[in-house]
């Protein structure tokens, strides 16, 4: 397998967590979003949306290519069900997906660089305030939602899609959006539990081949 991604991309981070949790080996190809490598024609040939991550893998003896982090997580769960990243209970499986989608669709798209630039350059508005608003709104909802199902992790006592999406979102909120995480004790406890797992540590943004040296040292 080959993963095309960017060190601090929340979406790429989710896939790294899943790959590490399932013990799957892969090659990593950095795509520098800061210098616009995702806009190059050769990358658009891999994903017409021009976004990371993209996972190339063999499925049924055929080379396949898939983008969108949650689609990739679903495929990995089907192809490599052990160790799982979804609960056995049908409702809890749906709840894990719900929590993942709140982060992946209800918060993250509204903080992307393309949206920030539109808010700044076209709307002539305060992009930092915009990003903080949507992060706080989403985290407020997640704190309540996760409180209904949390054990050690977001849904019970095993990591799931929910945790794979929560961890990168909390990093962005605190490190890049300047959101105070004090009002979210349940989310912070889950983040701390995830940080103790080797798979989550290996997938962390600070530990990637393309992570800048000054970030690694913090």
* Higher pLDDT pick, 127 / 217: 127
pLDDT, residue 83, reads 98
- Crossing angle between the packed helical segments 69-79 and 10-21, to the nearest 10 degrees: 10
Average pLDDT for 164-184: 97
Strand partners of residue 58: 63
Looking at the chain, which residues constitute the CATH 3.40.30.10 domain(s)? 2-83
pLDDT, residue 114, reads 87
Question: How far is it, in rounded angstroms, from Cα 161 to Cα 73?
Answer: 8
Superfamily of domain 2-83: Glutaredoxin (3.40.30.10)
For 111-123, write each residue's pLDDT tens digit: 988 899 999 999 9
Q: How far is CA 101 from the centre of its chain?
A: 10
Average pLDDT for 157-184: 97
Residue 217: band (very low, low, confident or very high) from pLDDT cuts 50, 70, 90: confident
pLDDT score of 171 more than 90: yes
Looking at the chain, which residues constitute the CATH 1.20.1050.10 domain(s)? 90-201
pLDDT score of 141 more than 90: yes
For 71-110, write each residue's pLDDT tens digit: 999 999 999 999 999 999 999 999 999 999 999 999 999 9
90-201: CATH topology = Glutathione S-transferase Yfyf (Class Pi); Chain A, domain 2 (1.20.1050)
pLDDT score of 218 more than 80: no
pTM over 0.85: yes
């Amino acid at each position: 397998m080959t993963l095309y991604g960017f060190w601090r991309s929340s979406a790429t981070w989710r896939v790294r967590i899943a790959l590490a949790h399932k013990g799957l080996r892969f090659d990593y190809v950095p795509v520098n979003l800061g210098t616009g490598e995702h806009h190059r024609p050769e990358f658009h040939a891999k994903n017409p949306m021009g976004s990371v991550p993209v996972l190339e893998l063999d499925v049924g003896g055929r080379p396949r290519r898939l983008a969108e982090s949650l689609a990739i997580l679903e495929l990995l769960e089907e192809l490599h069900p052990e160790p799982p990243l979804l609960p056995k209970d049908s409702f809890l499986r749906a709840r894990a997906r719900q929590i993942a989608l709140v982060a992946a669709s209800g918060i993250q798209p509204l903080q992307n660089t393309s949206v920030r630039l539109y808010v700044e350059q076209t709307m002539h508005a305060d992009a930092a305030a915009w990003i903080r608003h949507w992060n706080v709104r989403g985290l407020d909802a997640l704190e309540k939602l996760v409180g209904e199902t949390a054990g050690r992790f977001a849904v019970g006592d095993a990591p799931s899609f929910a945790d794979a999406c929560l961890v990168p979102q909390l990093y962005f909120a605190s490190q890049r959006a300047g959101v105070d995480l004090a009002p979210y004790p349940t989310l912070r406890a889950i983040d701390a539990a995830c940080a103790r797992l080797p798979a989550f540590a290996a997938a962390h943004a600070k530990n990637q081949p393309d992570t800048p040296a000054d970030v690694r040292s913090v």
